[in-house]
Amino acid sequence: EKFMPFVTELDFATGKLNPEGHVITRNLSHMKDMYYDQEAVRQLLGQNPLIYVVYNVVVPETAAHIQHCVTILYPGKVGNEYFMTKGHYHEVLDRAEIYFCLKGKGQLLMQTQDGAFASIDMVPGSVAYVAPEWAHRTVNTGDEPFVFFAAYPGDAGHNYGDIETEGFAKLSVEQNGEAVLVDNPRYGK
């Protein structure tokens, strides 16, 4: 049977999709061990801020299809570390991805299993290519929601476990009002 073409509307003002599709919400409690300043985590957990929401268009998870979704990453910090996504490798490691920034500003942090690291600054209009085999995490370095559209092969899947254990090589932190990348003291420990 034929899979029928269809359309999803993206609201440029908010980033929301209509229909919403499969919605994933991540509060601090869902990723508390990922932030460096655990004292700041403890202080914020009472209010448990919403960090990001992903609206996923639902399509079959096969290589023939293209997953696509929007992430709305809210502004804020845990200590001096900016709000960020969990970050992941694709479960099928060599599946690439395209990120298209619609609103706000942020960083796209990437790393490979053999120790390479890269970062790309994202502003509205930036179209970033996450090459095959690179783990990816986004960070909101601005003071409004950072919104980006993503598309990737249908069979890619997500591997969060490796990032949960190893972390990212760099942390994105505010220093003197500016976003800087610093070595993650816990990386490789």
54 lines the binding site for ligand 6PG (CB under 6 A): yes
- The tokens describing 57, both together, are 């268009």
- Report, in Å, the least distance between residue 150 CB and ligand 6PG: 4
- Report, in Å, the least distance between residue 122 CB and Ni ion: 14
The sheet with strand 117-122 has its strands ordered as 117-122, 106-111, 135-140
The letter for the amino acid at 117 is F
136 lines the binding site for ligand 6PG (CB under 6 A): yes
Choosing from 86, 96, 100, 155, the residue that interacts with ligand 6PG (CB under 6 A) is: 86
81 lines the binding site for ligand 6PG (CB under 6 A): no
Q: In angstroms, what CA-CA distances link 28 with 71, 130, 146, 161, 173?
A: 16, 25, 17, 17, 17
Torsion, CA 135, CA 50, CA 128, CA 111, rounded to 10? -20
Choosing from 34, 57, 82, 87, the residue that interacts with ligand 6PG (CB under 6 A) is: 87
The letter for the amino acid at 37 is D
Q: H-type helices in the chain, by residue range?
A: 38-45, 161-166
Return the number of the residue (165 or 175) whose C-beta is nearest ligand 6PG: 165
Contact residues for Ni ion (CB under 5 A)?
97
Contact residues for ligand 6PG (CB under 6 A)?
54, 69, 71, 85-88, 97, 136, 138, 150, 152, 158
